Amino acid sequence: MTRKKIKNSFKERVYTVVALIPKGKVLTYGEVARRAKSPRAYRAVGNILKRNFNPAIPCHRVICSDGSIGEYNRGRERKIALLKREGFVV
C-alpha cells in the first residue's frame, strides 16, 4: 500500500503563515495569501482570520495592502493597541 502525502488545507496554511509573523512585524492579507500558495485568495485570508479566536494565531498582525489596519474579530481598537504594544508604529 502506498502512502499519499496529505496536503494541508488552505486554512491550515494561512494559520501557519500568520503564526510565524514575529512581534512588531505585520503582513498584508495579500502577502499571507501568497505565502500560503494561493496569491489571489487575500479575501479568503480575511474570512479565515475573522473566525480565529486561537491566541496562538496572532491575526492582529495582518493588515490591509494600503497600510490601513483593517478589521479585527476582537475590535479594531484592540488590534491597534496590540500592535502598538508590540512596537509596530500605527
User: Which pLDDT tens digit goes with each residue over 31-57?
Assistant: 999 999 999 999 999 999 999 999 999
pLDDT at 7: 67
Q: Is 64 a catalytic residue?
A: no
% residues pLDDT > 70 (the chain):
92
Residue 22 has pLDDT above 70, yes or no: yes
Out of 48, 59, 63, 83, which one is annotated catalytic? Answer: 59
pTM of the model: 0.89
**How high is the pLDDT of residue 5?**
58
Q: What's the DSSP call for residue 88?
A: -
Helix segments in the chain, DSSP class H: 10-19, 29-35, 42-50, 76-85
Domains of the chain (ranges; CATH) run 10-85 (1.10.10.10)
Are the CB atoms for 8 and 43 separated by under 8 Å? Answer: no
Q: What is the mean pLDDT of residues 21-27?
A: 97
Phi, psi of 37, rounded to the nearest 5 degrees: 70, 25
